[in-house]
């Protein structure tokens, strides 16, 4: 069952919760083969964290609360991020959470009035995102499996209209293609019902209706609860494949960088979004786990990622891929 378009209240809250730092205009970049100098200090066959974001926000009767952070090339301390936001007014309560570790993402959102199932004016959102990159010594097909578990519930009695009782979750995993471009990324998300050029309310309305879909390089999960479906248990797995782009050293490079010449660059982006309004809850606080990966169909092995190598250059920024909602805004700006 598709979720009706989110109310203006929830949409304004969602727009608010994107941290200002994540909306900063970045220099224009080109997808494709990165400059070898970007990988100084990197080890072959080691996955690194390239971006980390957590966000939480609430709104009751027009009063917002918000907390969040967005870090590119995060230090080890940023790989254990957690933000919470909550408020209570006149019997109404709203709370949200976004958290992550190097290999897990969690988010939750609650907006309830225990004594008044017809109460309105409540909304909350929780969001977390991680991006990863690696230089592997072989041209391989890397398969990731990401378990997702959680629960959606509604206790409100408002069935229709902009103030309906609603809860929803969206999660995705995006694995790199060979020589990816903005157009190829946009096509993958379009096939999943998401226009990466959309902004503001248009984009957020799309997220409110996302349904599960699977492509080689993009796995998306979406589910909703309302008054006709008041309890939804989620136990799913996102399966996605990443392929590499060859790093060709067309000019001489320093000796420490020679090992990466002729090797292959890979990246993956993972995001988890929860939202609730007017008597609803979405609890995915312990759920999305970058658990295992396999190479060329071999045995599964535990995934591990470490903080970025020292002083990465701006050429490596494209490893963010579509790093969460804020990156869509950035990508649109850089094309102008």
CA–CA dist 250, 261 (Å, integer) = 9
User: Are 278 and 123 within 8 A, CB to CB?
Assistant: yes
CA distance 255 to 135: 17
CA distance 186 to 196: 6
Q: Report the pLDDT averaged over residues 75-95.
A: 92
Instruction: Examine the pLDDT at 18 and tell me if it is beyond 70.
Output: no
Task: Provide the Cα torsion 32, 38, 40, 41; round to 10°.
Answer: -80
Q: What is the C-alpha separation between 108 and 94, in angstroms, rounded?
A: 11
Q: Given a cut of 90, is residue 34 above it in pLDDT?
A: no
The sign of the dihedral angle between the CA atoms of 26, 189, 150, 118 is positive
pLDDT band at 331 (very low <50, low <70, confident <90, very high): very low
Please tell me the least confidently modeled range out of 139-148, 188-197, 214-223: 188-197
Mean pLDDT is lowest, of 38-47, 78-87, 308-317, 322-331, for: 322-331
DSSP E strands in 26-165: the ranges are: 47-60, 63-72, 82-89, 92-100, 104-112, 122-136, 141-154
Predicted confidence at residue 305, as pLDDT, reads: 87
Residue pair 129/51 in contact (Cβ under 8 Å)? The answer is: yes
Task: Quickly state the pLDDT bin for 1 (edges 50, 70, 90).
Answer: very low
The two structure tokens encoding residue 237: 């797995």
pLDDT band at residue 249 using 50, 70 and 90 as cut-offs: confident
Q: What is the pLDDT of residue 207?
A: 72
Q: How confident is the model at residue 244 (pLDDT cuts 50, 70, 90)?
A: very high
pLDDT exceeds 80 at position 2: no
Give the orientation angle of helix 8-16 with respect to helix 200-207, to 10 degrees.
110
Beta strands in the chain (DSSP E): 47-60, 63-72, 82-89, 92-100, 104-112, 122-136, 141-154, 166-175, 213-214, 218-225, 231-243, 245-246, 264-277, 280-289, 292-295, 301-302, 305-306
**pLDDT tens for residues 152-164?**
999 988 777 778 8
Quick check: 215 pLDDT over 50? yes
The pLDDT, as a whole number, for residue 321 is 38
Confidence grade of residue 333 (pLDDT, cut at 50, 70, 90):
very low
Domain spans of the chain, in order of start: 8-335
Place 36 in a pLDDT band, splitting at 50, 70 and 90. Answer: low
Q: What is the pLDDT of residues 127-144, one digit of tens each?
A: 999 989 899 999 999 999
pLDDT tens-digit profile of 266-287? Answer: 989 999 999 999 999 999 998 8
Distance CA 134, CA 130 (A): 14
Whether residue 209 has pLDDT greater than 90: no
Q: At residue 323, does pLDDT exceed 70? A: no
φ/ψ region of 247 (left if φ > 0, alpha if ψ in -120 to 50, else beta) reads beta
Contact of 281 with 126, CB cutoff 8 Å: no
């Amino acid at each position: 069952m598709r979720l009706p378009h989110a109310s203006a209240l929830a949409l304004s809250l969602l727009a608010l919760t994107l941290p200002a730092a994540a909306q900063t205009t970045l220099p224009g970049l080109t997808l494709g083969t990165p400059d070898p100098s970007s990988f100084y200090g990197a080890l072959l066959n080691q996955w690194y964290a390239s971006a980390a974001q957590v966000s939480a926000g609430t709104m009751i009767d027009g009063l917002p609360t918000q907390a969040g952070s967005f870090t590119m090339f995060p230090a080890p301390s940023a790989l254990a991020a957690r933000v919470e936001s909550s408020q209570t007014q006149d019997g109404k309560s709203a709370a949200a959470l976004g958290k992550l570790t190097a290999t897990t993402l969690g988010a939750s959102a609650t907006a309830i009035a225990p004594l008044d199932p017809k109460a309105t004016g409540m909304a909350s959102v929780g969001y977390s995102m991680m991006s990863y990159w690696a230089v592997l010594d072989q041209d391989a097909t890397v398969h990731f499996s990401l378990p997702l578990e959680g629960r959606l519930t509604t206790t409100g009695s408002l069935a229709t209209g902009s103030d309906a009782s609603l809860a929803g979750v969206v999660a995705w995993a995006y694995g790199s293609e060979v020589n990816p471009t903005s157009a190829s990324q946009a096509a993958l998300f379009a096939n999943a019902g998401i226009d990466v050029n959309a902004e503001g309310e248009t984009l957020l309305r799309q997220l409110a209706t996302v349904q599960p879909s699977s492509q080689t390089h993009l796995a998306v999960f979406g589910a909703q609860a309302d008054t006709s479906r008041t309890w939804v248990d989620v136990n799913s797995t996102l399966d996605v494949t990443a392929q590499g782009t060859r790093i060709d050293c067309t000019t001489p490079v320093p000796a420490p960088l020679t090992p990466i010449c002729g090797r292959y660059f890979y990246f993956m982006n993972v995001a988890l979004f929860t939202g609730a309004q007017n008597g609803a809850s979405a609890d995915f606080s312990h759920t999305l786990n970058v658990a295992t990966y396999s190479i060329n169909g071999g045995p599964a092995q535990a995934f591990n990622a470490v903080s970025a190598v020292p002083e990465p250059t701006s050429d490596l920024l494209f490893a963010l891929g579509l790093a969460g909602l804020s990156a869509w805004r950035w990508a649109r700006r850089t094309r102008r």
